[in-house]
């Protein structure tokens, strides 16, 4: 069983890699971004609340996001491991997640950061915008999301690094190559004494 986080800037390929890793390891991938997008599409109250933040490239408030993750992690398919993609993104979310896991006597096995430089990310995201038409993939919003990553999510990475729990993986390269790097990194963490 593996409980893990995948952290990385927008455009680093987190979502793609999360799907592949969850298939290979047989654990559910939980993407907060996907859950929000689903709710926006279905026009649920949660989606209507989240949409204004998402369109601006801002974080959805913790009061909404934390409860959503708590509910999701309580579902049966997360009992035997999970891969969180896109959460926690703030230090306050790290503390909230610590609390959820502590209540269940659980902890994380692996925290992986996918790395890539900003200009590469902007190029990738502008290309993705042409393909998917995601409303938060305009250049101004992309740059804002990257700024938020540096300001709010790098401290999350630092937190896990202080705990000696962080592994970094180079996110630049062909999708298959990055997947192999990620799987090798997970394997080496799990086989470490
Ligand atoms: P993503 O698909 O992970 O890039 O997420 C898309 C958008 O969903 C983000 O820009 C935020 O508006 C929102 N979102 C996803 N995860 C979180 C989170 N952990 N905290 C706050 N907002 C989030």
pLDDT, tens digit (0-9, with 9 covering 90-100), for 83-122: 999 999 999 999 999 999 999 999 999 999 999 999 999 9
Query: Which among 20, 37, 72, 145 is annotated as catalytic?
Result: 145
Does a structural domain hold residue 189? Answer: no
Least confident of 15-19, 137-141, 145-149: 137-141
> How many alpha carbons lie under 13 Å from residue 190 in its C-beta half-sphere?
11
Q: With pLDDT > 90 as the criterion, what percentage of the chain qualifies?
A: 87
Number of domain units in the chain: 1
Does a structural domain hold residue 192? Answer: no
Residue range 140-148: mean pLDDT, rounded: 93
Q: Which tokens is 65 given?
A: 């996001």
Looking up residue 26, the CATH number of its domain turns out to be: 3.40.50.300
Q: Say which residue the tokens 């902007």 belong to.
A: 122
Mean pLDDT, all residues of the chain: 94
Kindly write down the DSSP assignment for every residue of 21-41, as one continuous string.
HHHHHT-EEEEHHHHHHHHHH
Does a structural domain hold residue 185? Answer: no
Instruction: Report CA torsion sign: 131, 135, 140, 146.
Output: negative
Does a structural domain hold residue 6? Answer: yes
Does a structural domain hold residue 136? Answer: yes
Output the ligand 1 site: residues, CB below 6 A: 10, 32-33, 36, 53-54, 57-60, 65, 86-87, 89, 93, 136, 145
Ligand 1 atom at minimum distance from 86 CA: 3
Active-site annotation holds for 104: no
Does 133 have pLDDT greater than 80? no
CB–CB of 103/24 below 8 Å? no
Does a structural domain hold residue 168? Answer: yes
| pLDDT recorded at residue 90 | 97
Does a structural domain hold residue 190? Answer: no
Does a structural domain hold residue 187? Answer: no
pLDDT band of 138, cuts 50, 70, 90: confident
pLDDT band of 148, cuts 50, 70, 90: very high
| pLDDT recorded at residue 81 | 96
Q: Which domain range does residue 35 map to?
A: 2-180
């Amino acid at each position: 069983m593996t409980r893990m986080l995948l952290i990385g800037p927008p455009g680093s390929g987190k979502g793609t890699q999360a799907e592949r890793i969850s298939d290979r390891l047989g654990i559910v991938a939980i993407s907060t971004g996907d859950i929000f997008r689903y709710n926006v599409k279905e026009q649920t109250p949660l989606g209507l609340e989240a949409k204004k933040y998402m369109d601006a490239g801002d974080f959805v408030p913790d009061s909404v996001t934390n409860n959503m993750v708590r509910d999701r992690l309580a579902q049966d398919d997360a009992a035997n491991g999970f891969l969180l993609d896109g959460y926690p993104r703030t230090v306050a979310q790290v503390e909230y997640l610590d609390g959820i896991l502590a209540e269940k006597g659980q902890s994380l096995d692996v925290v992986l950061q996918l790395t890539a430089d900003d200009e590469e990310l902007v190029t990738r995201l502008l290309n993705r915008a042409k393909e998917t038409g995601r409303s938060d993939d305009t250049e101004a919003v992309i740059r804002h999301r990257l700024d938020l990553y540096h300001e709010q999510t790098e401290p999350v990475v630092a937190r896990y690094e202080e705990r000696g729990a962080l592994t970094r993986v180079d996110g630049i390269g062909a999708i298959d190559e990055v997947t192999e790097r990620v799987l090798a990194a997970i394997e080496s963490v799990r086989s470490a004494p």
